[in-house]
Amino acid sequence: MLESFDNRTGVIWYNNRFVPWREACVHVLSHGLHYASAVFEGERVYDGVVFKLDDHTQRLHESAKMMGFTLPFDSETISRATYELLHRQGIKNGYVRPIAWRGSEMMAISAQRNTIHMAIAAWEWPSYFDPDTRKKGIRLGYTPWRRPPANTAPVHAKAAGLYMICTLSKHHVEKKGYDDALMLDHHGHIAESTGANIFFVINDALHTPIPDCFLDGITRQCVIDIAQRQGIDVCERVITPKDVESADAAFLTGTAVEVTPIASIETVRLKGHPLVDTLIEAFQAYVRQTCHHHKTCESVSL
């Protein structure tokens, strides 16, 4: 039997109160459920510290704004709630999921006067892909679903509705035995996977798609920064499925997947490149250093 996420012990922060995990419910007549008027975040906890919490909270505020609503809590409240939650749950290494959604006052397309609700849950979560798969590199397959153009959806919001095509895509490729789906944009150019950004190593340089119709991930931005500081060329450009054939290596970046090597994309096998291991290590070192710095600052201010 699959252990369900709604049947656990502990607490969830819900509209500024800690409620028992199993009682953190929404009503079936919630606008967020029917019309996908919900935004969320995914954050990782390393040794008791939420990596880039301020950036994630900022993105949550911006996602809400793009959806036409305002979060009912400021960043400081969200930050305090997150750490209190981690403390109560006793989580040192795990995942944090804040979510905000429109409530039930109006249950039609228009929802101008709906209350905005917000919850934060946290749980232990070691690795997105199982460690063996991850070490060998994951296998990606193409999905027929494409990222929508920027004038058809709020593509830079981490909004629930945009994940409809991600779940469809992931299911599509899982049936064929792949680990994740590679999504193209509306032009047929490579965009991202279902929950992470993608990079290629071509001629000793990093190449990554321009995030014009998908999230410019926080991990993506870190990896670009780390690479540039190491003197590695980073080229943001249009990348086509044909370009994949000339790539030596590729990897995904994201809060959940961290930096995960890709072994193949459909029939194209990627032989690998030492740059990928260098970046995996450099990213881990950066995470450790950032989290350690946060801890040190916290203890000074206490």
Question: Which residues of this chain interact with ligand PMP, rule CB under 6 A?
Answer: 42, 158, 192, 195-197, 214-215, 217-220, 253-255
> Minimum Å distance from CB 258 to ligand PMP?
9
Which candidate, 215, 222, 121, places its Cα nearest to that of 163?
Answer: 215
Of 179 and 192, which has the nearer Cβ to ligand PMP? Answer: 192
> Minimum Å distance from CB 284 to ligand PMP?
15
Of 56 and 273, which has the nearer Cβ to ligand PMP? Answer: 56
Of 196 and 202, which has the nearer Cβ to ligand PMP? Answer: 196
Q: From the candidates 52, 158, 242, 295, give the one annotated as an active-site residue.
A: 158
> Minimum Å distance from CB 252 to ligand PMP?
9
Residue whose beta carbon is closest to ligand PMP: 217
How many C-beta atoms lie closer than 10 Å to residue 152's C-beta?
10
The residues near 292 (Cβ < 8 Å, ≥ 6 apart) are: 47
Asked whether 208 and 200 are in contact (CB, 8 A), the reply is: yes
> Minimum Å distance from CB 131 to ligand PMP?
19
- Residue 158 among the catalytic residues: yes
> Minimum Å distance from CB 218 to ligand PMP?
3
Of 197 and 260, which has the nearer Cβ to ligand PMP? Answer: 197
Q: Token match 């249009």: residue?
A: 238
Sequence letter at residue 123: W
> Minimum Å distance from CB 104 to ligand PMP?
27
- The residues facing 46 across adjacent strands are 49
Which candidate, 238, 237, 98, places its Cα nearest to that of 160?
Answer: 98
In terms of C-beta density within 10 A (0-12 exposed, 13-18 middle, 19 or more buried), how is residue 245 classed? exposed
Please state, in angstroms and as integers, the Cα–Cα distance from residue 295 to each residue in 46, 51, 83, 256, 300, following that order: 11, 11, 12, 22, 9
The beta strands (E) that lie in 81-240 are given as 94-102, 116-124, 138-147, 180-185, 190-193, 197-202, 205-208, 234-236
Asked whether 209 and 183 are in contact (CB, 8 A), the reply is: no
Of 138 and 196, which has the nearer Cβ to ligand PMP? Answer: 196
Please state, in angstroms and as integers, the Cα–Cα distance from residue 120 to each residue in 81, 126, 250, 291, following that order: 8, 19, 33, 20
Distance CA 280, CA 205 (A): 15
Of 89 and 255, which has the nearer Cβ to ligand PMP? Answer: 255
Return the active site residues: 158
